[in-house]
Chains A and B, each alone.
Chain A
Amino acid sequence: METSRKLIRKQSLEKLYNQLSATRKVYAPVIADDKQVEFKYNPGFAEVTFEHIRSTLSVKNIAFPKVENLFLYSNGKTESTITDIDLNKIPEVVLWGSHPCDNAAFDALRSIFEWDIKDEFFSKRMEKLVVIGLSCHLSDAYCFCTSVGLAPNSSKGSDILLSPLHNGDYQADILTEKGASIVNSFSELFESTSGEEVVLTTVKQKFDHEKVTSKLNGAFEHPFWVENSLRCIGCGACAYVCPTCACFDIQDETRGKNGKRYRSWDSCGFSMFTLHTSGHNPRNVQSARWRQRIMHKFSYMPDRNQSLGCVGCGRCSSGCPVDMNIAEQLEALQNI
């Protein structure tokens, strides 16, 4: 579809939000009591923040929830039944004010969940998702979108992308049919653009991801991994705050005769992630697990999924209790 550009005034933006919020689920960022930025369903417009750099958790849970029931079962001795989850009940969600890195992450997730065999749980959630993204006018030392082929105003993954103007109004890029349908439903709120310049932050490029990918090809045995992962304590914080990490576990949980099989977020950083029943563990040290994390995102995914597994949001590094700074490591890796 041909993309188009409009203008939406500050007051109209509030109206748009309120009207969307009145009729559907809108997932928008707020600053919580403890000062953390979190996405919430249908907060009042006054509560919605336009001034955040990154939310503590990414918004991937919209498409890949931390826990997703795969089916329900009832387990008699000989009579067992399986009941499917009705995916048609997944509600339509408008994701509001998520930044370009987070929106691009949906493409990376898609490259895994729709690779080879389609995962309907993910696909259905994506189908019901409309993304009204927000370009970044703020950034910090952890941001590195420009190193992974993105920018503070990348449109990838957004249906509409809002970019702030100096006077408080917003430029709206309408990028997909889904976006156009919203604009058409509320056409009175959109005006034609006057061509004003948008306010964007600048994010310094720290490394060349293609160079990293090519370096990683021969770097499996490099001492780099041990030297640079000694301080990694092997928690799952980086993977769980990451917008593109997609590894999961599958478990059963039963109460009486009835139960559910679900999948839940997992992390390649955990020591038991690859442990065999026999006790053998192919990745038995933290350096092997840290290598897997970098390799998966910058070598294996480009190779198999034709997508980088990183959008440069910086959450893994800002959220790491021991300052495992991924951009710093990638910068070093391109020169090994």
Chain B
Amino acid sequence: MNNLIARAKELLENKIVQVIVGYEAGPTGVARPAFITNPAKADLLIYDERCVQNLAVYLTKPEVRNLGKMAIVATLPVMRSIMMLISEQQIFADNIIVLGVSSDGSLLDIADIKVMQAYIEKSDLGNPVKDRALLVELNKLSKEERFAYWQKELSKCIKCYACRQACPLCYCTRCTVEVNQPQWIPVQSNTHGNMEWHILRAMHLAGRCISCGECGRACPVGIPCHLLTMQLADEVHNYFKVYAGTSEKMSSVLSTFEPNDKESFII
């Protein structure tokens, strides 16, 4: 952590970046995003097991971008999000400095995107262990039982869209749910419409989800909606042998046609 603070100070003092996007401790002890622009405030930065939010969501936020060039404290999911955002042309690699942190909290030396890519490639890119276990349990259920499970969970959804807003890859300025000509998804919250929303969200993230679990963590009513996108990340890996967010040149598997794509779904 001291290395992180020292590096942050150095970047700000030498005006290499204008803002450090990292974590600080809130008044109740919860870790939360911090936007440090003054080197004297770099001491506020923390990095420990409380720091779980995927900070990459701020890379596309207008008011954060307005602050200038940024350095971002990046765990593996953040790095993969950055990769996705570069590949989808939402951000430029040159505009960001990655303050990589390993799972044990030590500062990594991520000099550029190539180094970051190498780090990502040698990491475990599957879903987090605890979520893997939950998915195994869910997949043991019959189709009907699983449907009933999701129906019960999604009936709780209040359509606050915290899942969408927390996701670094849900950056559209006008989401499909905000399109009303036609009205694809009902505005009101009801079980059927909530299911439509979450299926749509999961499908839009298929092949793009980098398994950070942020959507589920953000949900104020505790719906494990990250399991939907994580299941699809698994499916995509099974079919196409790729993980999202591993290369800056990657194109989304579900929106790319390859002549040698399997056509087993065509009868």
- Contact between chain A and chain B defined by CB under 8 Å: yes
For A272, list chain B residues within 8 Å (CB): 174, 178
For A286, list chain B residues within 8 Å (CB): 61, 63
A57 and B158 contact, Cβ closer than 8 Å, known pairs A235-B164, A253-B188, A325-B26: yes
Contact across chains for A251 and B63 when beta carbons are under 8 A apart: no
Let me know if B53 is at the binding interface, CB within 8 A: yes
Closest approach, in angstroms, between the C-beta of B261 and any C-beta of chain A? Answer: 36
Task: Give the secondary structure class of A's interface.
Answer: loop
Chain B 153-167 interface 0/1 with A at a Cβ cutoff of 8 Å (1 = within): 000001111101110
Question: Which one of B27, B28, B35, B162 lies within 8 Å of A321 (CB-CB)?
Answer: B162
For A320, list chain B residues within 8 Å (CB): 220
- Interface stretch (choices A124-132, A185-193, A225-233): A225-233
Let me know if A302 is at the binding interface, CB within 8 A: no
Q: What separation, in Å, do the CA atoms of A237 and B219 have in the docked complex?
A: 8
Chain B 74-104 interface 0/1 with A at a Cβ cutoff of 8 Å (1 = within): 0000000000000000000000000000000
Nearest chain-B residue to A227 (Cβ)? B35
- Interface stretch (choices A85-93, A97-105, A114-122, A259-267): A259-267
Question: Which one of A229, A231, A264 lies within 8 Å of B189 (CB-CB)?
Answer: A264
For A323, list chain B residues within 8 Å (CB): 26, 28, 30-32
In which size bucket is the chain A interface? 35 or more
Chain B 52-80 interface 0/1 with A at a Cβ cutoff of 8 Å (1 = within): 01000110011110010000000000000
Closest approach, in angstroms, between the C-beta of B83 and any C-beta of chain A? Answer: 21
Let me know if B33 is at the binding interface, CB within 8 A: yes
Closest approach, in angstroms, between the C-beta of A130 and any C-beta of chain B? Answer: 26
Q: What separation, in Å, do the CA atoms of A243 and B75 have in the docked complex?
A: 36
Contact across chains for B164 and A231 when beta carbons are under 8 A apart: no
Contact across chains for A235 and B165 when beta carbons are under 8 A apart: yes
For B27, list chain A residues within 8 Å (CB): 141, 325, 328
Let me know if B217 is at the binding interface, CB within 8 A: yes
Q: What separation, in Å, do the CA atoms of A251 and B187 have in the docked complex?
A: 7
Nearest chain-A residue to B193 (Cβ)? A253
Contact across chains for B62 and A251 when beta carbons are under 8 A apart: no
Residues facing B in A127-181 (CB within 8 A) are: 141-142
B residues sitting closer than 8 Å to A (CB atoms) are 26-35, 53, 57-58, 61-64, 67, 158-162, 164-166, 173-174, 178, 186-190, 217-218, 220-222
| A233-B57, A321-B220 known, 5 other contacts, Cβ within 8 Å | A236-B160, A264-B159, A264-B189, A271-B173, A321-B162
What are 29 A-B interface contacts by the 8 Å CB criterion? A56-B221, A57-B221, A67-B189, A141-B29, A142-B28, A229-B63, A230-B67, A231-B32, A231-B35, A233-B166, A233-B218, A235-B160, A235-B162, A235-B166, A241-B220, A253-B186, A264-B187, A265-B158, A267-B160, A272-B178, A286-B61, A286-B63, A317-B28, A320-B220, A321-B218, A321-B220, A322-B33, A325-B26, A325-B28
List the 10 shortest-distance A-B pairs measured between CB atoms, nearest first.
Answer: A321-B218, A323-B32, A236-B160, A235-B162, A235-B165, A319-B220, A231-B33, A233-B165, A237-B220, A323-B26
